[in-house]
Amino acid sequence: MAADRIGLRDEEPKNFWTTTRKTILSNDRRSLKSWIQLLIFYLAFYFVLIVISGFMFLIFNQMIDPRSPTLRNGQSSIGHTPGLSIRPRPSPFNIRSTLIQFKSTNQETYKHYVNDLQQFLDSYIDVKHGSDIAGIHSCIGRLSAPEGQYCPFDLNSEIKQTSVCFNASREFGYADGKPCILLKLNNIFDWTAEPYIHEDEFPIELKMHLQHTNNQAHKFREPLIFFTCEGENHADIESIGQIEYIPKPGVSPYYFPFQNPDGYRSPFVFIRFANPAAGMLINVECKAWARNIKHKKGTQIGRIHFELQVN
């Protein structure tokens, strides 16, 4: 019992500061001087670590071009064949969906689609044009711009003047049950289009499709990266109705290569579904056509799939 009492007397309460030993956190047996030395050591250690990391990041940043990727075309995971993308995009509440579904008599059902299209087109409004502006070249009649320049996509001359999609209500045909969907190539740095030049080069599928488009005047007059859209199976083909390509069934190759210059905007085409069957779920497949564009089923390489339902 006496020993126990002596042991209890020897124990000291676990205080932050122990007066008798002049230590902080007495269980660690560290004095105030020891804690200050430890704090200085770790401050110096982390300071040197931050300086070395910052220096390495600076060197790494100097080795990377902010405008062009290190790996290009076939070297990168993106590959050397561009895919296709559409606007409007699905609702943010269901981003995995590829379904465009709305009721033409109910504005709330297509409000998101109209807003998404308008937001995308707003980025084209302030684009400068004219060959006197640095980096911009007038490319009418050319296959591409000179190195270091690019051909601007003029929304007014290319789309607005000839487009029924730009109606007074600016609802892109959704209120009429004749929706317009924007179709464009995804950007791949330094990719140059190789369009079909002569009619005998055209694949049979492309040639047959062009015979039924609304743009007969543009069929073989100028080189194009052609776009085609159709139903995926027989039921879809019967339900899809007439498809119009505005202003023409493709984009000119002189807008490429894409080299990420200031002010560049991707060329696009509006696809107008003039009379889709009401209430039918239509599977749509769109493809891009050029000599160096390959199609791979089940991927978005050279193609895109989506569904359309107009109620």
pLDDT in tens, 108-131: 999 999 999 999 988 887 665 554
Q: What is the pLDDT of residue 137?
A: 61
Q: Could you tell me which residues come within 8 angstroms of residue 115 by beta carbon, excluding any fewer than 6 positions away?
A: none
| Proportion of the chain above pLDDT 90, given as a percent | 36
Q: Does residue 9 surpass a pLDDT of 50?
A: no
Strand 180-185 relative to strand 243-246: parallel, antiparallel, unpaired? Answer: unpaired
Q: Which structure tokens are listed for 230?
A: 């159709």
* From 6-15, 81-90, 163-172, 231-240, the region with the lowest mean pLDDT: 6-15
Q: In the predicted model, what is the mean pLDDT of residues 9-23?
A: 54
Q: In the predicted model, what is the mean pLDDT of residues 231-242?
A: 93
Strand 303-310 relative to strand 99-102: parallel, antiparallel, unpaired? Answer: parallel
d(CA 65, CA 63) in angstroms, rounded, equals: 7
Q: Which structure tokens are listed for 62?
A: 């100097």
* From 189-193, 215-219, 257-261, 296-300, the region with the lowest mean pLDDT: 215-219
Binning pLDDT at 50, 70 and 90, where does residue 214 land?
low
Q: For residues 276 and 142, which has the higher predicted lDDT (pLDDT)?
A: 276
